[in-house]
Structure formats: C-alpha cells, structure tokens
Structure 1
C-alpha cells in the first residue's frame, strides 16, 4: 500500500508531502488545477519516462519519493528485488526515489540502492495499477488474463504444471538417447578402438601423481648415491680420512707413554675414529634404503609418459582417463541396447503426454465454466455503469501445440462489444476513455482479484456521466476499496462523497509564480468542496444541503 508521496520541483509543484491510508481516497479540484501532475509524478517514481520537461522552471532537478508498506517475504516483488541484488530488511518500508535533472538524465533508487528505470517499471505492476484513458497495463494486457481467470475460478494449474514438467523431461530424455545412439553409431569403430585402448592402459585416478612422486624419489636417490660415493672416497681408502686417523692413533699410542697431552690427543683421535666408523655404518644403512632398480625408474617413466600421452590425445587430465573409459563403455552399451532402450523411453513419453493431456483438458474445462461465471458477473455490473448496450465475454481458445506450457493449452482474453451489432474486440480497442475506465471497474469488482497491485488509481473514471451512474460508480469504488487501496481523481460529487480521505488540488499565483498544492480536507471543507462540485463557482445553500445528503448516504 502507498503510504507517502513526496514531490519536489515537478512542473508547478514546488514541495509537496502527502500521506495515504487504506480504503478510498479521492482527489478533486478545478479543471487545470494540476491533478495530472500528481499522477505524472507517481508514474515517474514507478519507472515512467524521465522527461526533463517535468522539472519545475528554475530548479536543477525534480525528485519524487514514493513510500510503500514493507513488502512481505516470498512475494514476487521480493523475488524481483533479490534477482537484482537489492536488499530490504524485514519490516522496512519500500522507498522508491526518482531524480530527473533539468539538463537531461535520470536516476532511480530503491531504499537508497541504485535501480534502473527498467527495474522500477518491472516493480510497478506489483505496487500500483494506474487506470486512465491511455493506460495499457493491468487488466488491459491480454498476457495476464489467463492468470486472472484462474484466480477468479480458483482453477489452480499446479497439476498441469507438474504434468508439463514430466512431459518435457520425457521429451528431453528421448531426444538425448536418440542423439547419443545416432552419434555413437557413426563413431562405433572409433569407440571400440578407444575403449580397447583405454582398457589396456588401465589408468586409475591418482596414478599419475603417485608415479610422478616415485620418479622424483628415485631421481633424488640417484643423486644422493653419487654424493655418498664421493663421501666414501673422503673417508675410505689409503688416502681417506679414517685410514689416516687410524694411522695417527697407532703412532700416538706408541709415543704417548705417560705424557698427559699426548694421551689426551690419543683419546680424541680414538673418539674421531669411532664417530667416523658410526658415520660409515649409517651411510651404508642409507645406501641400502635408497637402493632401487634402475629398471624400475625406466618402467615408471615409461608408464608416466604413456599416461600423459593418452591424456593429451583425448584432451583430458590423466586422472580423468578412467572416467573417460567408463563414459565410452556406457556409450557403447547404449548403442548396443539400441531400439529396446528407445522403445522404453517412447513408452514413457507417451504416458507423460497422456497425463499432460488429461490434466490440461480438465483445466480447460474448469476455465470454460469459470469464464461463463465471469461473463455473468461482469454483465451484472455493466448496466448500472451506463454500459447497457455493451457486451463482455471471456475467450478461452485452444493454443497450437507450440504454445502449450505448464499453464495449459488455452489462450484467454477479455473482449467487449460496446454497441449492438458491433464485433467483439480486445479491451484496448475501446475508443472512449470513460467507457474504458468503467469497464475496468466492472472487471475489478467482478474479479475481486488477489495477488495484484496493492494500490489502484483511477483517473477520471466518471468522465461524461452523472446522476445515478456516478452514484453506481462511487458505490462500486467503495466496495472495491474494502479489499485494496484506491485513489480516484474525480469530478463527480457522488464519487467524492464516498471517499475515506479527500484531497483538494488547487493552483495558486502570487503574481510571479504559479504553484500547485494539495491539502487534506476536514469535514467542513469537504462539504464545501462537494457543494462546489455540485453548483459550480457560486456555492448555494441548496448545494451545501445536497452535499450533506451525499455525505450522509455514502
């Protein structure tokens, strides 16, 4: 529901802040007072064309801010916001702001997050329906008529949607199987060769990494073995360090006698010989641990190169060779299964098609009954609205198979004939703006739709009518306003008297600048305004009395 509308520097409006509530709100004023400016401003916030001509003369920019009740979780509006990366905290009102610059260009915001005009236009149908002479949204769009009829007739298409999904899945499965078999048949020789080649290779996931690690270990062992041989040369042999240490020990042992320093030197050399021997032993152990068969390295490298060559050949990673082999075998198996598998899929498709036909035909039958009830309901609303000669019908026509969907097989469109003998045509073919608005009102009252916009605006729905017709329009607007918020721009006192809130639009001039203003009327002011609407420029006591009677009976 629209709760506030703030307008800054739009045409003749300098600054205006309006609050709205539930029920029926009426906007009145003399011709030329600027009622259309208010609707233009609201349309701008809802993604309308950002024309720089809307900017008040002398201002740098025009700004319109429309505030709505917090959107409920799980609604189409919230889904649309989520799809476009816009977030609204739970319980936070929806605030749409549109700025138009005097030198061209516009910007949009949803709760201070940038939003394109296109996104605002997508949001608009879930927020506000504006019905006027040139409006072609809402009920005038045939694309939404099927959903409206389903809501009216409570013809839930869920079963048809499920059957349609199953049908499409069966079609896709059969098409895929046929394509696979056709492709496999063309490539049988290649498949058989590839499967044999991959089977002989016997690649396993992770094998390449294991082989590469083993190869690195053997190559490292080979390098260490070379280094150990060099160390052996340093320690062993006639010129090795250990041999010389042992010789030194024998000499020291012979000459040390009781000499303390030589005895210490002998002890140190003995320790060095012992540690050197330990080093020799540990290096022998390491050599045993690092020993490998050179043929193993050659085999390892050959296997590794084979895996990698096969992977390059088939343009996959080595770890994917096993999965590729399984895939190729499965293709051969499908090919070998041949028409037996196709026949099973064809039977599944036939069953799914029969289930969809049954569900969709039942849905069509329910829609046909709902259409008759809707035609009767709308017909009952036409005469009081001075549309006695008009006829309304709901067309439920079969679509071609290419048009079938989860919503069924039907094309639904609301059509009217405004004069006796005139052919039926779509709602947008109506020439008269007043007739159009009254038809929409009749439809709205008959449908009492759920899930549409939470706010509706009717622009001069009472144009060209008065008396009993105007009273009928007011009564139906009040009835419709019991379930949704209605804003009505009206010249009819009978309609104005039905409003729960009355706003007066007036133009003022201080001698240099003309401005449009809007203010809420109290009960006394409201009676005077309705009296003006009844009598014209000069308000008479009789007009005031008539206004009082209208307000009492509203």
Structure 2
C-alpha cells in the first residue's frame, strides 16, 4: 500500500507531502488544476522514463519520494533480495527518484542506488495505473494467461514439473545422439587409441615414481666411486673402524692408571658407536643409490614413452588413465548403439505424453475458468452502459513450438463493442471511455485474486454521468475493499464514494503559479462535490444534492 508521497519541484508543484490510507481515495479539481502532474510525479517514482521538462522552472532538480507498507509475502521482497537491495518484511519500502534540470536522473531504493530497470520492475509490482491510454496491465495480452489462472485458482505446478522432466529427457536424448554421432565418426581412431592405452596401461602417479627412481639411479652412478672410497677408509683391518677398536683395547688396559685415561676411553667408545652408525647408513645409502644400468635404461624408456603418449593425446601424464576410461566409455556407447538411444527416445516420449496430459488438463481448466470470467464481466457491462458490448476470453492451444512450463495455451481478452462487430484485442478499442470502463469491469471480476496492492484510475468516468457514474462509483468502492484505490475523477457520484478526498488546485501570487493538493474535511468535501454538481456558482440545491450523495454511501 502507498502510504506517503513527497514531491519537490515537479512542474507547478513546489513542495507537496501527502499521506494515504487504505480504501478508496478520490482526487478532484478544476480542469487544468494539475492532476496529471501528480500522476507524472508518481510515475517517476515507479520508474517511468525521466524527462528534464518535469523539473520546475528555476529549480536544479525534481525529487519524488514514495513510501510503501508491504506484507511479508509480497513478491517485491524477493526482487529486492535478488538485486542485493536491503528490505526487511515489516519495514517501509522507500523509493526516491531525482531528475536534474540539465538531464540525467538517479534512483534509490531504501537508500541504496538502483538502476531504472529495477525501479520499473518493482513499480509494476507495487501500483497499477489504469488510464485511457495505458498500454500495460490488463491491456497487455502477455499477462492475460496469468490473470485467468489466478481467477480460476488453477494450479500450474503439475504441468511445470512435467515440462521440466520432458525438457531434461529431450536434452539427454539430443546429447546422446550427438555423442553417438561424434563417436561413430571417430571409431577407427578410438579403437587404435584405446588399444594403445590398454597396452601401455598407464597408472596415476606413475610419472613421479619413474622420475624419482631415475633420479636416484643417476645420482648413484655419480656417487658410486666416492661411496666405495669412503667404505674402504672405514672397513678392513687397516680401516678407521678397526684402528679405533685397537686403540680402545689398548687404552682399556691402562685406563685405570689415571682418570684422564678413563675419560679418553669413554670418548673412544662413543666414537666407535658413531662410526658404526655411519657404516650402517652408508650401506643403506648404497642400497638406495644402487646403480643398475639395465634397470635405468628400462625406467628411462618407460618414462619417455609415458611423456610422449601424454603429448600425443594433449593431456598430462597423470591424465592418461582417465583418458583411457573416457575413450573406452565412448567405445561402449558406440557398441551400445541404437539400443541406448531407443531407451532415451522411449523416456522422452513418455515424458512428452505426461506433459501433454497435464497441459490438456490446464486447457480444460482454463476453458472452464474463461467461461466463468466471461459471465462475470458480462454482468458488469450493462450497469456501466456497455450493454451492447460483448467480452470473451480466448483460450487457444498452440502447436508444440509454443509449449512451455505454463502450458500450451495462448490466452487473450477480446471484446466487441457493437452488435455484429468482430471481436478484437482490448488494445484496439477506439473509445477511451469504453476502454476505461472495460478495465473497471475486468478489475471487479478479477477482484478476488486482485493484482497490485494499489491501483490508480485516471478519469475512468470521463464522458459519463448519472446512473453510469453511480455504477462506476459503486464498483470502485467494492474494489477498494480488496485493495487501495486512488481515483482521479470529475464525477460527483464517484467522489462521494471515497473514504478520503483530496482537492487539487492552482494558486497564483502574481508571479508564480503553483499546484497544491490538500485533504478535505467533511464540510469541505460537501462543498467540493456541490461545485462538481453545479459548476462555477455553487447553489444551495447543489449543496443539498451533495449531502444526499454523501449520505447514500
């Protein structure tokens, strides 16, 4: 619901702050008072294309701020979240639009910059504006199917689920056919590649293992002479190890003669132990770095062949095993042949049949709902002085190219305004007054499911009076029980139906002309309705008639 509208420097409006409540709000005033300026200002907040001509003469910029209270389940919350904009359920939604006099504009939603496209999408969720030349909302055939589904409380989820299943089955079939065709073209190469990889039998991690072993053996070849020389120094009767033991035995015989000799003997024992460990580690190193020319040749040949095979297939050496599995799978698909394709074709056909049945059920439900909607709209036409007109909801099943998750139907509202005249799209109606009343009839018929929480009707009563104007007022009042309505009207019968009433008027101070809007109390409201009844000179009879109109409602 629209709760507040603040306007600064828009055409003739210098500064205006309005607050709105639920129900039916009416806006009246003399012709040329500036009602269209008010709607233009609101349009800016809803994402209408910015026009620097709307900036008041002498001002640098025009600013419009609109505030809304939305229920927690309003789809606007989802849109805000998808666009990374703050907006908590229960908190006011504030839209601000600035238009500069030298061109350009910017917008903010809850204080955060937002592109005009997001503003337009959000505005369409918040307010519907119905006027004589409006080409959105009910006039747009693209939205008629959803409106009919809402009216008929039609559940489209089974068809949507069936459509996704069918689409997935078709995708799997197309992919399998493409894979089979591509694989069949490469059959000879695949046979050779798989045989080659099977014969070579590459293993993951094999390159690192072979490279490490090759490196160790190459080091062993280089270090073999040094290791042998070191071993000769340690081993044998003349080696360092034997000399240490002999020295220790001699020292052991005389060690008791002096404490320092005992210390020297302990040191020699430690040296013998360390030398033994060194001897063991040299032996282990020798084994690790053992050099076998035949083994080195084998390892190098395997390593070089592995790398060459990887280059041939343009993969890393560790990817050869996975490549073998992939190519084998492609061969298996070829060998499975038409059997696998036939199974997928059967699945796709079954999924299509399931979707077709769900879509047929939707068509049946929509056809029944269309008949109920046609009857409901027909019941609204005669009181609105459209008794010669006829309305119908066209439900056409499309060919397969037009099928979607929403079913196979094209839905469009059509009318015939004169007996014998062919039915045509709502957008082709010539008379603006007829169009406005048709929109009202439709909105009343659809009221149980509704649309945006706020609706604005711009001069829906143009060109009618008396009983028709009363019927329009009664239907607007009924519709306002389901949503917030703001109506720009010239009809006293409609104005009297309002739960609240604002007067739009121009004022002059000799230099500047301004447009203002102010709420009317009960006395002022009666006087304004009397003016609408009598014209320039308000008579007592007009005041009495205004009072009677207000009493009726």
CA apart distance, 1:154: 2.2
Deviations 1:17-65, CA, capped at 9 Å, x for gaps? 1111111111111111111111111111111111111111111111111
What are the within-5 Å matches in structure 2 for residues 491-502 of structure 1?
491-502=490-501
**Counterpart secondary structure, 2:382:** helix
Q: Aligned pair in 2 of structure 1 residues 258, 468: CA closer, same or farther (>3 Å)?
A: closer
Are the counterparts in 1 of residues 27 and 489 from structure 2 also a CA contact under 8 Å? yes
**Counterpart secondary structure, 1:196:** helix
For residues 422 and 333 of structure 1, what CA distance do their matches in structure 2 show?
66
Deviations 1:444-466, CA, capped at 9 Å, x for gaps? 11122536211111000000111
Q: Aligned pair in 2 of structure 1 residues 227, 21: CA closer, same or farther (>3 Å)?
A: farther
For residues 129 and 334 of structure 2, what CA distance do their matches in structure 1 show?
60
Does residue 274 (structure 1) correspond to residue 281 (structure 2)? The answer is no
Q: Which residue is 2:285 aligned to?
A: 287
Q: Which residue is 1:485 aligned to?
A: 484
Q: Aligned pair in 2 of structure 1 residues 330, 262: CA closer, same or farther (>3 Å)?
A: closer
Deviations 1:232-288, CA, capped at 9 Å, x for gaps? 6887899998899899x69x97xx999979958965984685366345434435425
Q: Which residue is 1:322 aligned to?
A: 321
Deviates further, 220-229 or 129-138: 220-229
Q: Which residue is 1:42 aligned to?
A: 42
For residues 69 and 284 of structure 2, what CA distance do their matches in structure 1 show?
80
Are the counterparts in 2 of residues 125 and 452 from structure 1 also a CA contact under 8 Å? no
Q: Which residue is 1:26 aligned to?
A: 26
For residues 484 and 301 of structure 1, what CA distance do their matches in structure 2 show?
84
Deviates further, 311-320 or 422-431: 311-320
For residues 312 and 165 of structure 1, what CA distance do their matches in structure 2 show?
42
Q: Aligned pair in 2 of structure 1 residues 318, 522: CA closer, same or farther (>3 Å)?
A: farther
For residues 244 and 112 of structure 2, what CA distance do their matches in structure 1 show?
86
Q: Which residue is 2:549 aligned to?
A: 550
Are the counterparts in 1 of residues 221 and 291 from structure 2 also a CA contact under 8 Å? no
Q: Which residue is 1:136 aligned to?
A: 135
Q: Aligned pair in 2 of structure 1 residues 386, 269: CA closer, same or farther (>3 Å)?
A: closer
Q: Aligned pair in 2 of structure 1 residues 282, 453: CA closer, same or farther (>3 Å)?
A: same
CA apart distance, 1:107: 0.7
**Counterpart secondary structure, 1:48:** coil
What are the within-5 Å matches in structure 2 for residues 72-91 of structure 1?
72-73=72-73, 75-91=74-90
Deviations 1:499-536, CA, capped at 9 Å, x for gaps? 11111111112222221111111112111111111112
**Counterpart secondary structure, 1:389:** coil
Q: Which residue is 1:172 aligned to?
A: 171
Does residue 66 (structure 1) correspond to residue 59 (structure 2)? The answer is no
Are the counterparts in 1 of residues 443 and 450 from structure 2 also a CA contact under 8 Å? no
**Counterpart secondary structure, 2:58:** coil
CA apart distance, 1:121: 1.2
CA apart distance, 1:127: 0.9
What are the within-5 Å matches in structure 2 for residues 117-132 of structure 1?
117-132=116-131
Q: Which residue is 1:400 aligned to?
A: 399
Q: Which residue is 2:531 aligned to?
A: 532
Deviations 1:455-507, CA, capped at 9 Å, x for gaps? 11100000011111011000000111111111111111111111111111111
What RMSD over aligned residues (CA atoms) do the two structures have, in Å?
Answer: 3.1
Are the counterparts in 1 of residues 391 and 414 from structure 2 also a CA contact under 8 Å? yes
Q: Aligned pair in 2 of structure 1 residues 277, 445: CA closer, same or farther (>3 Å)?
A: same
For residues 525 and 216 of structure 1, what CA distance do their matches in structure 2 show?
103
Are the counterparts in 2 of residues 503 and 520 from structure 1 also a CA contact under 8 Å? yes
Deviates further, 60-69 or 198-207: 198-207
For residues 229 and 57 of structure 2, what CA distance do their matches in structure 1 show?
97
Long gaps (5+) in structure 1: none
CA apart distance, 1:201: 2.9
For residues 281 and 90 of structure 2, what CA distance do their matches in structure 1 show?
77
**Counterpart secondary structure, 1:359:** helix
Q: Which residue is 2:462 aligned to?
A: 463
Q: Which residue is 2:514 aligned to?
A: 515
TM-score by length of structure 1 reads 0.90
For residues 108 and 266 of structure 1, what CA distance do their matches in structure 2 show?
93
CA apart distance, 1:322: 2.7
CA apart distance, 1:340: 2.0
For residues 467 and 451 of structure 1, what CA distance do their matches in structure 2 show?
28
Q: Which residue is 1:354 aligned to?
A: 353
Q: Aligned pair in 2 of structure 1 residues 291, 210: CA closer, same or farther (>3 Å)?
A: closer
Long gaps (5+) in structure 2: none
Deviations 1:170-203, CA, capped at 9 Å, x for gaps? 2222222222222121111111112212222323
**Counterpart secondary structure, 2:439:** helix
Deviates further, 389-398 or 462-471: 389-398
Q: Which residue is 2:144 aligned to?
A: 145
Are the counterparts in 2 of residues 474 and 498 from structure 1 also a CA contact under 8 Å? yes
**Counterpart secondary structure, 2:358:** helix
What are the within-5 Å matches in structure 2 for residues 103-118 of structure 1?
103-118=102-117
For residues 329 and 370 of structure 2, what CA distance do their matches in structure 1 show?
52
Are the counterparts in 1 of residues 448 and 482 from structure 2 also a CA contact under 8 Å? no
**Counterpart secondary structure, 1:416:** strand
Are the counterparts in 2 of residues 71 and 93 from structure 1 also a CA contact under 8 Å? no
Q: Which residue is 1:51 aligned to?
A: 51
Are the counterparts in 1 of residues 219 and 289 from structure 2 also a CA contact under 8 Å? no
For residues 356 and 276 of structure 1, what CA distance do their matches in structure 2 show?
84
For residues 188 and 61 of structure 1, what CA distance do their matches in structure 2 show?
71
Does residue 334 (structure 1) correspond to residue 307 (structure 2)? The answer is no
For residues 52 and 327 of structure 1, what CA distance do their matches in structure 2 show?
63
Q: Which residue is 2:473 aligned to?
A: 474
